[in-house]
């Protein structure tokens, strides 16, 4: 398998035109296939239905017998309560996720360039050692990490989380950029070298201008994973200075099960990443591919 | 391309050095410090006088029934998660692979749970996996009852033997689309000529899969196993969101590590972290070595 070139969904997932004639067997088989596809579609969407419907139910409407019915009357109290709890956290999450994604994308781009196109002895070993950091369970570093961050004087909450997402994002961002740059023709780089351009010149005038697709993929990836992170948030923040996952779990795990507020909260907390997915879906899938299909 | 001398490899090393230092300290350095802590008797927050106790913390962990139970839970969960995502992911990819109308739409829907956090999906899955049955049943139990599948009602994650497998259900829901995308890319990477050649040779549909398609898909399957597998071994968010940290039937090492941390038992917590790392390393290191060798071959 060759290295993923341009990381968009269409590049990897779209059927080739000539394949359309291979529509696989009889009409019965085709019908069966669609029946299955639609069945699974409904299964996948089932939780979304529950989230949506329950979020609009009033407190009295939550009896088990009406669990799967539409609301008796569409109430927005749950949404109001959820917004009250989550809105400060949403703002904090944005202020954490945006700088974290941008910084780690820049680091990843420089590393990827060096490891793909301006290599040094042992570059492959270095790359493999970096990659290992992507897979470790963070539980294996968490206790000294808490102490290290205290010693460095990084305050809990947003600042800590920015540092952590940048540092632990290095392996994946490096991987995506490295795979992307591997598809850039080496002649282009060599030509610049022959013309006497140094490494930084080559990087800034040749490589960086064609990096936009990889930047989009990496930014989406980092945005999503930092937004959805709970583990670091739990160790390095609380519901007063932490991101939205902390506030959502706080809202949802209260003693009084306010299902409409919890479900509205889950929708609110997921909206930014869902929007990114809907609008930039093909790049999102590209990130998934670039992060795994390699070598 | 690799020239001798500082002039040629100095600049790239300098450019990547900040990242190397960060990973060196935050990954490798801290793994070392954590391991060191796990060899001490620091069962309290404040440092004070700490003595080395060798592997005592590991010994007590493996003699602790709850910890052994949590390891078994992790194994069951990972098995269910892996089988579930691979089967569903393959099935979806196989259904879509031959080109259907609205493929992009199906793909997008199957994949959307991936964009949602485990905490958010945990909110709805806790509701779906409500363990009440009969008249009081809610969630999936109620749905089963309403569509005439009442016998499927069960205790979900509160069952002491298989409860943790119920947690794999939302995980499968969330990650199957990802595995589908991997397999779909794999299917489309198979040259048409290969299939045609097999057909010309008179291969049956099953033989075609057995001898042509499955072998071609195996690198993708390997990637999927490694990626889903390591996520599975680290399961934490989903259990926190659905069952909470105190629930016995869904104990796994990552949860216990957090609980020991909140108690201030740093040594024990550090030991659990190290055990988890060793488990994940068994999966990851062979994979990294394998990809490293592949890279060398193709260079």
| A184 touches B at CB < 8 Å | no
User: With an 8 Å Cβ cutoff, are B219 and A245 in contact?
Assistant: no
What are the boundaries of each domain within chain B? 65-298
In a domain, A189, yes or no: yes
Q: What is the pLDDT of residues A80-111, one digit of tens each?
A: 999 999 999 999 999 999 999 999 999 999 99
Is the Cβ pair A54, B254 closer than 8 Å?
no
Do the beta carbons of residue B164 and residue B252 sit within 8 Å?
Answer: yes
Would you call A255 an interface residue with chain B, using a CB distance cutoff of 8 Å? no
> In this model, does residue B120 exceed pLDDT 80?
yes
Location of structure tokens 């779990």: A249
Residue whose pair of structure tokens reads 């493996």 in the numeric block: B62
List the single best residue of A42, A110, A111, A137 to mutate versus B (max B Cβ within 10 A). Answer: A137
Identify the CATH number of the domain in which residue A93 sits: 1.10.3720.10
Contacts with A, B 47-86, CB within 8 Å:
none
pLDDT computed for residue B141 by the predictor: 83
H-helix segments, A58-185: 77-117, 123-135, 142-152, 158-182
Name which residue leads in pLDDT, B28 or B210.
Answer: B28
Q: Cα–Cα distance between A101 and B27 in angstroms, integer?
A: 19
Taking residues B159-184, report their average pLDDT.
92
Counting the structural domains of chain A, the total is 1
**How far is it, in rounded angstroms, from Cα A230 to Cα A190?**
44
Residues whose CB is less than 8 angstroms from the CB of residue A131 and which lie 6 or more positions away in sequence, other chains included: A171, A175, B288
The pTM score is: 0.90
What does DSSP assign to residue A210?
A: G
When CB atoms are compared, the residue of A37, A198, A253 closest to B95 is: A37
Who contacts B178 (Cβ-Cβ below 8 Å, separation ≥6)? A288, B85, B89, B111, B114, B227, B228
**In this structure, what token pair is assigned to residue B107?**
């793909």
CB contact under 8 A, A130 and B19: yes
Q: How big is the A-B interface in CB pairs under 8 Å? A: 306
pLDDT tens digit string along B213-270? 898 898 889 989 999 999 999 999 999 999 989 999 999 999 999 999 999 999 999 9
For residues A174 and A170, give the distance between their C-alpha atoms in angstroms, rounded to a whole number. 6
pLDDT at residue A233, rounded to an integer: 97
| Residues of chain A with C-beta less than 8 angstroms from the C-beta of B258 | 139, 234
What is the structure's pLDDT at A118?
Answer: 83
Asked if residue A27 belongs to a domain, the reply is: no
Lookup: tokens for A112: 């990827």
Domain range for A95: 79-290
pLDDT at B17 over 60: yes
Among the listed ranges A171-180, A193-202, B117-126, which one has the minimum average pLDDT value?
A193-202
Nearest CA-CA partner of B78 in B286, B245, B270, B238: B238
Q: How far is B174 from chain A (nearest CA, A)?
A: 9
Q: What is the dihedral of CA B21, B286, B61, B267, to 10 degrees?
A: 0
Task: Indicate whether A21 pLDDT > 50.
Answer: no
Q: What is the pLDDT of residue A117?
A: 85
| C-alpha span between B253 and A46 (Å, rounded) | 31
Q: What is the DSSP code string of A88-106?
A: HHHHHHHHHHHHHHHHHHH
Strand partners, A77: none
Backbone angles phi, psi at B40, to 5 degrees: -110, 180
Task: Encode pLDDT of A213-262 as tens digits.
Answer: 889 989 998 999 999 999 999 999 999 999 999 999 999 887 667 888 99
Q: What are the Cα distances from residue B21, in Å, to A13, A65, A152, B27, B139?
A: 37, 58, 15, 10, 49
Contact A80/B at CB under 8 A: no
Which CATH number describes the domain made up of B65-298? Answer: 1.10.3720.10
DSSP structure class, residue A195: T
Least confident of A13-17, A130-134, A266-270: A13-17
pLDDT band at B92 (very low <50, low <70, confident <90, very high): very high
Cross-strand bridge partners of residue B40: B52
Question: For residues B85 and B175, what is the distance between their CA atoms, to the nearest angstrom?
Answer: 6
In this predicted structure, the answer to whether residue A6 has a pLDDT above a threshold of 50 is no
* Contact (CB, 8 A) for B26 and A168: yes
B 95-114 near A (Cβ less than 8 A): 95-100, 103, 106-114
Q: What is the mean pLDDT of residues A121-131?
A: 89
């Amino acid at each position: 398998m060759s290295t993923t070139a341009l990381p968009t969904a269409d590049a990897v997932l779209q059927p080739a035109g000539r394949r359309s004639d291979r529509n696989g067997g009889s009409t019965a088989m085709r019908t069966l296939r669609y029946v299955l596809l639609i069945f699974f579609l409904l299964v996948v969407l089932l939780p979304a239905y529950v989230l949506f419907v329950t979020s609009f139910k009033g407190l009295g409407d939550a009896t088990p017998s009406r669990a799967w019915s539409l609301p008796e009357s569409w109430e927005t109290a749950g949404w109001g309560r959820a917004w009250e709890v989550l809105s400060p956290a949403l703002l904090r999450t944005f202020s954490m996720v945006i700088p974290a994604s941008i910084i780690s994308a820049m680091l990843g781009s420089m590393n990827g360039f060096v490891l793909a196109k301006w290599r040094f002895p042992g570059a492959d070993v270095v790359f493999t050692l970096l990659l290992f950091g992507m897979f470790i369970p963070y539980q294996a570093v968490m206790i000294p990490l808490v102490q290290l961050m205290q010693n460095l004087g990084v305050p809990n909450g947003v600042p800590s989380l920015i540092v952590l997402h940048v540092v632990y994002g290095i392996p994946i961002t490096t991987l995506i950029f490295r795979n992307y740059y591997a598809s850039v023709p080496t002649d282009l780089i060599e030509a610049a070298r022959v013309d006497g351009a140094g490494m930084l010149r080559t990087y800034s005038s040749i490589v960086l201008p064609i990096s936009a697709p990889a930047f989009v993929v990496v930014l989406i990836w980092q945005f999503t994973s930092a937004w959805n992170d709970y583990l670091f948030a739990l160790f390095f923040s609380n519901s007063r200075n932490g991101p939205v996952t902390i506030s959502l779990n706080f809202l949802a795990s209260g003693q009084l099960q306010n299902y409409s507020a919890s479900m509205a909260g889950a929708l609110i907390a997921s909206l930014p990443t869902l929007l990114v997915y809907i609008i930039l879906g093909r790049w999102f899938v590209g990130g998934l591919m670039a992060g795994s299909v390699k070598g | 391309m690799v020239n001798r001398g500082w002039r040629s490899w100095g600049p790239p090393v300098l450019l990547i050095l900040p990242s190397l230092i960060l990973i060196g300290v935050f990954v490798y350095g801290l793994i070392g410090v954590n391991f060191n802590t796990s060899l001490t008797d620091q069962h309290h927050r404040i440092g004070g006088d700490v003595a080395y106790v060798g592997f005592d913390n590991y010994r007590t962990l493996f003699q602790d029934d709850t910890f052994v139970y949590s390891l078994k839970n992790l194994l069951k969960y990972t098995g269910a998660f892996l089988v579930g995502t691979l089967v569903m992911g393959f099935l979806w990819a196989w259904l879509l692979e031959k080109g259907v109308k609205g493929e992009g739409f199906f793909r997008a829907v199957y994949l959307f749970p991936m964009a949602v956090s485990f905490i958010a999906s945990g909110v709805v899955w806790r509701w779906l996996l409500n363990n009440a049955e009969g008249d009081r049943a809610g969630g999936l139990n109620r749905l089963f009852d309403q569509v005439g599948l009442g016998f499927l009602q069960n205790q979900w994650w509160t069952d002491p033997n298989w409860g943790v497998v119920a947690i794999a259900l939302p995980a499968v829901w969330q990650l199957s689309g990802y595995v589908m995308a991997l397999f779909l890319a794999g299917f489309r990477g198979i040259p048409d000529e290969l299939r045609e050649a097999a057909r010309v040779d008179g291969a049956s549909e099953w033989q075609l899969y057995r001898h042509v398609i499955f072998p071609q898909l195996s690198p993708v399957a390997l990637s999927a196993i490694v990626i889903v597998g390591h996520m599975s071994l680290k399961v934490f968010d989903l259990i926190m969101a659905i069952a909470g940290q105190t629930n016995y039937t869904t104990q796994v090492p990552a949860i216990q590590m957090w609980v020991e941390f909140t108690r201030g038992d740093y040594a024990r917590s550090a030991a659990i972290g190290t055990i988890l790392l060793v488990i994940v390393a068994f999966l990851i290191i062979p994979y990294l070595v394998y990809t490293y060798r592949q890279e060398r071959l193709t260079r």
